[in-house]
Each structure stands twice: as structure tokens, then as C-alpha cells.
Chains A and B, each alone.
With several copies, the nearest count.
Chain A
Amino acid sequence: MQTVPHRLVTIIAERGVRDRLLDAVHQLGATGHTISDVQGEGSRGGRAVRGGPSVKIEAVVTRPVAEQIAAHVAERYFAHHSVIVYLQDVEVLRGSKYAPHNQGA
């Protein structure tokens, strides 16, 4: 079995910025993503507030795309929004599936 090292970018964000984040993630080269509903607590409060769920966005991407996504999130969202981002190593099958085929869109 031929696995290829890639990066898993995880973004946890308040729901209001979800669509903007997804657009950015794809524009920066992700070929797919997985999203789930989560709840959280961080520096901007959390637990025991209902109606304020967050989303977790995960994308398996190449190393440079991962860096770009993390940098984008940091630059645009860290100041005004409840957002965190972290990167992990993953191994995938079919490495070509996750390579950005379309740099511009």
C-alpha cells in the first residue's frame, strides 16, 4: 500500500464565518473538505451558551496549501473572530486527489 504524506488542516470557527472560510479554503487549493458541528469554549467564552455552536472544517491538502490556509486564517480572522487553526501530518492513499488542480478558482 502506497501512502503519501499530506497535511490535515483543522479550523474551528464560529458559524457566521463558515461560508467565507470554505470559499477561501477551496480558493487556496483544497480539493475537498469535511465539516461538522461542534461546540466549544476558548478565550471568547463558550460553554453553557446555547445557540452559539461552531463548525469544524477539516481539509487534507498538500504541505504548501496547508501553510497558505493557516496563514490566511490567521491574518483575516484571528483579530475579530472566534477561530483557531491547527495542522497535522496524515498519510493518504491516492495522493494526486488532494493536489490543487486549479490554482485560481
Chain B
Amino acid sequence: MLEILLASLLSPVVLAFVLGALAVAVKSDLEIPEPLYQTLSIYLLLAIGLKGGVALSKTPLAEVAGPVMGTFALGVLTPLTAYAVLRKLGRMDRTNAAALAAHYGSVSAVTFIAAQSVAAFAGTPSEGFLPALVAVLEVPAIIVGLMIAYARGDRAGSWQEALREVVTGRSIVLLVGGMAIGWVAGAEGTAPISPFFVAGFQGALMLFLLDMGMTAARRLRDLRAVGPFLVAFGIVMPIVHGALGVWVGHGVGLSTGGAAVLGAMVSSASYIAAPAAIRVGLPEANPAYYLTASLGITFPFNLTLGIPLYLTLSGWLA
């Protein structure tokens, strides 16, 4: 474990995250311009989509079916566990609990990417088709989260609008669109674009995490506002969900690396798709809660300690 932990913590990608956080701490005027942030996220989503699509075009359907169903089940289950914990243990109101449930059931694409890199680096690469699971995991939890709130009659937002927002949102469009392109064009067809999308990937990810470090550090200011329960939730919930993901991953036949990456995905909290949907579907929910928890606590935790933990767990289960 320690070895994986060190390899993960001392990788340029994680160090860039730390550099970003430090830059905010010393009040540097360093700034990742908004269009660069958007460019990097378009690039990263399209790149993992393409890679996944190419892998999918080489994988027999039977091999993918199990993992897809397992992932879907986790996408329905985890918002329910999150909601139960928040209501029972945290005594949180329904609206905010449902909003948080949608976030913790859904997935952070960057956590997935980082987990994939660390798994490969640790000598246990994950299956190539895993990006397809990201797409499968992203949507259901948000629907479940909204359903919980709507079933209780809190109707300030629009259910249909929120759903539309998720499935037409840029993360799904780029991920699924990239997968379709990779699948249609195949390994040969995508060869001319691979210097751009494959060789440049890790460097672009590093720049992206520099920005994430800055964003996470800015979020930390709100930490006092959210209280100690949410801080604990932002660390313990991912561990529980992550362990569950690793376990299910082995159950559906994924490799050691694949199960660990699935664990990281399940444990992660969305901060792109879910906030966009919640803003529309549950506008009364307080962003200070769901953004601070997912961006300020869970993301840094997973990036530094969580991913090595799920890898270690997965190694034990193998």
C-alpha cells in the first residue's frame, strides 16, 4: 500500500493539484483562464471517450454486459445509501440530502481518469472499456436523487428540465460522442489523431489538476459553514462506496486494476453534471453543501488517499 500511495502522491498530476492549492493559500495571482479550463475539460472527456470507444470496438459484448449491469445497480443504490446516512445520521433536511445524494451517487470523471493512471502506474492497468461505465454511472444517481426530492413534493424546480440538462450536458455528449467516434473509426481510423489525444493526455491532465487544486482550495473557505458532519461524510461515505465498488467490480469479473478504478468511480462525487442538474431541478438546495463536500473534501481525499486505498483493497480481494 505504502508504495502505491507514494507513487500516487508523488506523481506530477497530484503534485500539480497541491501546487494549485498552495497558490491559492499564498494568494498568488496565478489564474487558469476560464477558456483554458473549458478547453481542458472538453479535451479530457473527448479523449477518454475516444479511448473507451476504440477499446469497446475490440471487446466482445458479453464481456461488457456484467460490468455495465453492476455499475448501473451501484448508480441506483449509492444515492439511496447516501440519502439515508445524511437524513439519519446527519439530520439534514430533505432537499439538501437529496441534492447531496445525487452528487455522491454520480461520478467525477477526473477521479476516474486519475484512478486509471495510478492503476496503470501500479502495474495493474484497468480494462479499456471502463469509460463506458463512467457514462452508465453518471445519469441514474441524478435521477434517483431528484426522484427522492420530487416524491416528497418539493417542486420548485422542473424535473424534465433537470433530466434534459444531464443527458444533453456536455460531459455526456463528449463522453458518449467520443466513444461512438472511437467505436466507429476503430484503432486504425483514430491513429492520425492519437498524437493529440493520447500522447498529450497526461500533460493536459496535469494542467487541469493545477486548476482543480485552486478550485478545491477556494472551496475550503466554506468548510466552517458546512460543519463537521459533512466533513466526515465527505471522507467516510467515499470509503464505504469505494469498498462496495471494488467488491462489485470483482463480482462482475473485472481485473484488480479495473475493480479498483470502479471503486474510485463509485466513491467519487460529481461536480460537473450533478451541480448543473440540481441547479435546475432542485434550485432550493444550497450549493455550499454539495459543492464544498464534493469538490473541497471528497475529490482531494480520493485523489491523494482514496485511490491508493481502493487499489490496495482490490489487491487483497484478487
Contacts and interface: CB of A to CB of B under 8 A. Distances in A.
A adjacent to B, CB under 8 Å: yes
A50 interface: yes
Contacts of B194: none
Contacts of A15: 29, 31
Interface residues of B, number: 29
Contact of B211 (A14, A50, A81): A50
Interface string A37-62: 10100001111111111000000000
B29 A39 contact: no
A51 B271 CA distance: 9
B275 interface: yes
B238 to A, nearest CB: 20
Given A39-B34, A80-B158, A14 B215 contact: no
B218 A80 contact: no
A89 B248 CA distance: 60
Contacts, number: 56
A84 to B, nearest CB: 14
Contacts of A51: 37-38, 41, 272
B154 interface: no
Interface string B1-39: 000000000000000000000000001010101100110
B157 A49 contact: no
B138 interface: no
Interface stretch (B90-98, B283-291, B302-310): B283-291
For A14, A52, A79, A82, the residue with the greatest tally of chain B CB atoms inside 10 Å of its CB is A52
B156 interface: yes
A79 B295 CA distance: 27
B288 A45 contact: yes
Contacts of B279: 14, 44-45, 52, 82
Interface string A58-83: 00000000000000000000011110
B291 A50 contact: no
A48 B219 CA distance: 6
A53 B272 CA distance: 12
Nearest to B168: A16
B280 interface: yes
Given A50-B215, A51-B38, A37 B33 contact: yes
A50 B216 CA distance: 10
A73 B188 CA distance: 50
23 contacts: A14-B279, A15-B29, A37-B34, A44-B279, A45-B275, A45-B279, A45-B286, A45-B291, A46-B287, A47-B218, A48-B218, A48-B295, A49-B275, A49-B291, A50-B37, A51-B38, A52-B276, A53-B38, A79-B156, A80-B157, A80-B158, A80-B161, A82-B279
Given A14-B279, A51-B37, 19 more contacts: A16-B165, A16-B280, A37-B33, A44-B279, A44-B287, A48-B218, A48-B295, A49-B215, A49-B275, A49-B295, A50-B34, A50-B37, A50-B211, A50-B215, A51-B38, A51-B41, A51-B272, A52-B275, A80-B158
Interface of B: 27, 29, 31, 33-34, 37-38, 41, 156-158, 161, 165, 211, 215, 218-219, 271-272, 275-276, 279-280, 283, 286-288, 291, 295
